[in-house]
Amino acid sequence: MKIHQLTTFLILFLGSQVCSADLAVDESIVIYEHPSQTKHDVTVYNTDELNNLFLEVTPFEVVKPGEQDQELKPLNLASTPDFLVSPNRAILAPNSPTVVRLLNLQNTGDRERVYRINLVPANPPAELQTEEEDAVQSLLQVVVAYQILVIIMPEEPVSVVESERQGNTAVFRNSGTANYLLSDGVQCKTDEPENCVALQSRRIYPGNTWSLDLPFDGPASYKVRTHEGSSELVL
């Protein structure tokens, strides 16, 4: 199952109006600074003042994060899991919050682990539907759902920021054990310094190589964020 690099996504839904309640979360990126950290709570809100929100919570392990063949692997709960999310379903009353608990069950590691959690508004269980709600209605709705990124750092996190410029192509690599984030990228024309373009942000996971075509010949800069802090990179 391929995934998109988004923390929110839209669902087109054909059905009754029970999915019209509004979903919000207090954070979309969760970072465990050390694998010995066992739990983290994310607060989920139903901001609708009239309707209940029926929520489905589905966690996945990210296999080969940042690679072209990156995919989501459903967590295997039949064996001893490294990571759990509770609950997998919830009902939120109007204008009310609930807590989704993230449990890290593996307290050692020499490389970071990455998970994504889908929070999706859903239809109510069949036993809670009325005859009117159960009827099919010709109503196309856009439902906002969320995808939370979870990163569990290794025991000794090391982000190795490697970059090079090949003409108008910038190449970034990470041979470490923890990711780094490229953000606030910008490049300006040398002869028109007021003509600047924002560059794509990107999280570079261990083992990743990422190439970016630059619009101009002049220098480009990024803010680099690692577990140790932020710095500026100029290419």
Report helix, strand or coil for 235: coil
pLDDT at 165: 95
Residue with tokens 């809670």: 128
Whether 69 and 171 map to the same domain: the answer is no
Closest CA relative to residue 28, chosen from 92, 131, 121, 115: 115
pLDDT under 70: residue ranges of the chain: 1-21, 78, 125-143
- Cα–Cα–Cα angle for 160, 164, 165, rounded to 5 degrees: 155
CA–CA separation, 135 vs 146, rounded Å?
27
Bridge partners of 55, per DSSP, are 90, 121
pLDDT at 56: 94
pLDDT at 67: 95
Answer whether residue 3 is part of any domain.
no
Whether 148 and 229 map to the same domain: the answer is no
pLDDT at 89: 93
pLDDT at 77: 73
pLDDT at 22: 86
Whether 191 and 105 map to the same domain: the answer is no
CA–CA separation, 100 vs 163, rounded Å?
38
pTM comes to 0.84
Where is the domain boundary, 133, 152, 171?
Answer: 152
Answer whether residue 135 is part of any domain.
yes
Whether 57 and 138 map to the same domain: the answer is yes
Number of domains into which the chain is organized: 2
pLDDT at 20: 44
pLDDT at 14: 42
pLDDT at 3: 40
pLDDT at 12: 47
Whether 37 and 107 map to the same domain: the answer is yes
pLDDT at 75: 87
Answer whether residue 184 is part of any domain.
yes
DSSP run (H or E) holding 132: helix 131-134
Residue-number span of the structural domain to which 81 is assigned: 8-152
Answer whether residue 2 is part of any domain.
no
Closest CA relative to residue 118, chosen from 150, 93, 154: 150
pLDDT at 16: 38
